[in-house]
Structure 1
Amino acid sequence: ALCVAISGKCYMSLATYNSSANRGACRQNCRRSYKVIDEETGVELQVNNKYIMSPKDLCTIGFIDKIIDAGVIVLKLEGRGRSPDYTRTVTACYSESVDAYLSGTYTKEKIDQWIARLEKVYNRGFWHGGYYLGKKMGEWSGAYGSQATTENIFVGQATKYYAKSAIGEFSVETKQVSVGDTLLITGPTTGAIEVPVEEMYVDEKPAMVAKKGQIFTMPIAERVRKSDKIFTVINRNPDA
Structure 2
Amino acid sequence: MRNKIELLAPAGDMERLEMAVAYGADAVYLAGTDFGMRSFAGNFSRTELKQAVDLCRSHRVRVHVTCNTMPRNQEVARLPEWLEYLNEVGVDAIILADVGTLALARRHAPKVQCHISTQASIVNYQSAQAWHDLGASRVILARELSLEEIQEIRAKTPKELEIEVFAHGAMCVSYSGRCLLSNYMTGRDSNRGECAQPCRYQYALMEEKRPGEYFPVYEENGQTYIMNSKDMCMIDHVADLMEAGVDSLKLEGRAKSAYYAAIVTGAYRHAIDAAAAGEPLDPVWRDEVEHISHRHYSTGFFYGQPGQYTENSRYVRDWQIVAKVQSCDGEGNALLTLNNKFRVGDSLELVGPNVRPQALWVEGLWDGDGLPLEEVRHPQMTFRMKLPCQVPPLSLLRRKADLSPQ
Unmatched segments (≥5 aa) in structure 1: 186-193
TM-score (norm 2): 0.44
Q: State whether structure 2 residue 167 is matched by structure 1 residue 6.
A: no
Question: Partners in 2 of 1:166 and 1:113 — Cα distance?
Answer: 22
Q: State whether structure 2 residue 350 is matched by structure 1 residue 180.
A: no
Unmatched segments (≥5 aa) in structure 2: 1-169, 352-356
The 8 Å contact of residues 188 and 196 in structure 2, kept in 1 or not, is answered as yes
Q: Where do 1:140-219 residues align within 5 Å?
A: 140=309, 142-152=311-321, 167-168=333-334, 176-182=342-348, 196=360, 198-202=362-366, 204=370, 209-210=374-375, 212=377, 216-219=383-386
Per-residue Cα deviation, 1:128-176 (whole angstroms, up to 9, x for no partner): x3322133x5232532331132234x6x899x96879864456879754
Structure 2 counterpart of 1:199, which letter? E
Per-residue Cα deviation, 1:4-37 (whole angstroms, up to 9, x for no partner): 1112201111112221222222111221222245
Equivalent position SS for 2:272: helix
Structure 2 counterpart of 1:26, which letter? C
Q: Which residue of 2 aligns with 1:117?
A: 288
Question: Partners in 1 of 2:340 and 2:268 — Cα distance?
Answer: 34
Alignment partner of 1:78 out of 252, 267, 281: 252
The 8 Å contact of residues 177 and 232 in structure 1, kept in 2 or not, is answered as no
The 8 Å contact of residues 51 and 143 in structure 1, kept in 2 or not, is answered as yes
Q: State whether structure 2 residue 264 is matched by structure 1 residue 90.
A: yes
Question: Partners in 2 of 1:174 and 1:123 — Cα distance?
Answer: 20
Number of residue pairs matched? Answer: 220
Alpha carbons of structure 1 residues 216 and 98: separation in structure 2 relative to 1, 3 Å: closer
Deviation of the 1:89 alpha carbon:
1.0
The 8 Å contact of residues 366 and 385 in structure 2, kept in 1 or not, is answered as no
Equivalent position SS for 2:384: strand
The 8 Å contact of residues 161 and 224 in structure 1, kept in 2 or not, is answered as yes
Q: Which residue of 1 aligns with 2:19?
A: none
Alpha carbons of structure 1 residues 53 and 40: separation in structure 2 relative to 1, 3 Å: farther
The 8 Å contact of residues 178 and 190 in structure 2, kept in 1 or not, is answered as yes
TM-score (norm 1): 0.70
Q: Where do 1:8-157 residues align within 5 Å?
A: 8-37=177-206, 44-45=215-216, 47=218, 48-106=222-280, 110=282, 112-127=283-298, 129-135=299-305, 137-140=306-309, 142-152=311-321
Question: Partners in 2 of 1:174 and 1:130 — Cα distance?
Answer: 34
Structure 1 counterpart of 2:195, which letter? C
Alpha carbons of structure 1 residues 95 and 212: separation in structure 2 relative to 1, 3 Å: closer
